Amino acid sequence: MAFSWSTSGHSVLKLNIRLLCLFGMWPLCDSPLYNFYSALVLTLGVWNCMEGALTVGYSGADLEETNLVLINSFTTCSGLAKGIPFVWDRQQYYAMAHRLNALVSKQSEACSKDTTMADILQNPRKRASRVSLAIFLSLVVQSIVWFPMPLILHPGERRLPLVQHYRAGNNTYYALSYVVQCRAANHVCHISVGMDCLLATVMILVAAQLKVVTIGIAALSSEQADTELGVKYRFEGSHASSQNTLYRDLCLCIESHQQILRFVKDLQRLMDPIAMTQFVFSVLAACMALFQATYSTELAAVFQCVAFLPVPGGQVFLYCWAAHSVTEEHDPQKEWDVTYGCQRAEAVSTAGYSCSWVGSSAAFKRVLRLLLCRAQKRLVFTAGYCYPIDRAAFLLLVNASYSYYALLGQKNGR
């Protein structure tokens, strides 16, 4: 089912959905005009890429101008590579949002009576919303830096903000070309970053779900079951009732764990090509921006590139940070600590070992063994089904970008 404006307000992805709606990706109304708006935004992005290709291929373009065009083209191509598949098959994103809402709602009901557990669910939502809003505002600042710069530093020279029309000398439809370039770059960049924030928010919330499951598993104990039953261990038949309660609670935890794993598998399939696309274009854009900021003789170009550098780096870090948080919550090698009034583990496998399994029923131990075997397999998101996404990957991508920059610097020195 598609979302409306009112139903999106009840979603855990409320901010991300509405930001994508603002830039023509996520319709919150059933109107042909919105589909036309989406098609227009993507068409402007394609036109912007064609302008860049013509400018780079034109012999009159110098190296500095070519670098600026390539930076814009890489960013625009990244947004188009995400936006076109999104518009083509929005149903899979609708399904993802509904399934995530169901997971969070189920956990919220189970944790509503415990303020600490409720905070574990609420704090990641607030943090993800703040990150998405901060990135949106940073893009607004980028627009203020990039778009009016030619009018401020080159008044009367009829310079365009991103791509110059050398064959026509920027004299044909100058005002229209200026507006089209600004609108195309602004919308497509927001689409690209908006998709990144959407997927990062989903991963952050999944990590919170895994954390709740690990706490629930590690907290399983006979004493807790006795407290829930309201009986003392010395009463006849209370031990059997306690074991039945433990077995039931463990089954509920395992059910939640399996639902999260199935969701992560579908999320991986959806996110894999998007993450790979972003990694490639971010490395190229960061390399070109760093090169331009170092070797450009024009102060305006240096200022623009320095201001732009956090954008591709932030997009890559967003994926690596969010994906690493999921892996960390399911890492069988992670050690446990003492929080929440009991010994609990970040990893599901260690949480199962930390629960009160000694002296439990045979059925409880059998089910727990199955959980421990499944939890030994780490949850790792990948890009291109081969490149793991974690914090180490961020450092490798930064190093790759710097290596390309150093290579360009050597070529330029010759």
The two three-digit tokens of residue 24, written as one number: 């023509």
Rounded-to-integer distance, Cα 19 and Cα 5, Å: 12
On whether the CB atoms of residues 80 and 49 are closer than 8 A, the answer is yes
Give yes or no for a contact between 366 and 246, defined as CB atoms under 8 angstroms apart.
no
Collect contacts of 16-21 with beta carbons under 8 A, ≥24 apart.
Answer: 16/132, 16/194, 16/197, 16/198, 16/201, 17/97, 17/198, 19/132, 19/136, 19/190, 19/194, 19/197, 20/191, 20/194, 20/195, 20/198
Name the strand (E) or helix (H) holding 382: strand 382-383
C-alpha to C-alpha distance for 1 and 3, rounded to whole angstroms: 7
Q: Is 46 exposed, middle or buried (0-12, 13-18, 19+ CB in 10 A)?
A: middle
Give the three-state DSSP class for 387. strand
What is the C-alpha separation between 358 and 379, in angstroms, rounded?
28
The closest of 93, 127, 82 to 282, measured between CA atoms, is 82
Q: How many whole angstroms separate alpha carbon 14 and alpha carbon 11?
A: 5
Residue with tokens 């908006």: 194
The tens place of each residue's pLDDT in the chain, 414 residues long, gives: 788 888 888 889 999 999 999 998 999 888 889 999 999 999 999 998 888 888 877 755 567 777 888 888 888 999 999 999 998 888 999 999 999 999 888 887 777 777 777 788 888 888 999 999 999 998 888 888 778 888 887 787 788 888 877 766 667 788 888 888 888 888 999 999 999 999 999 999 998 888 888 888 887 765 444 444 344 433 344 455 667 778 888 888 888 888 998 999 999 999 988 988 999 898 888 888 888 888 777 777 777 788 888 888 889 999 999 988 888 776 655 544 434 333 333 467 777 777 777 777 888 888 888 888 877 777 788 888 878 888 888 888 888 888 888 887 777 665
DSSP 8-state secondary structure symbol assigned to residue 388:
E
Q: What is the DSSP string of 318-367?
A: HHHHHHHHHHHHT-TTPPEEEETTEEEESSHHHHHHHSS-TT--HHHHHH
Cα distance from N-terminal residue to C-terminal residue, the chain: 59
pTM here is 0.86
pLDDT value at residue 342: 35
Token pair recorded at residue 79: 């947004």
Which residues have a Cβ under 8 Å from the Cβ of 122 and sit 6 or more positions away? Answer: none
**Separation of alpha carbons 386 and 341, rounded Å:** 40
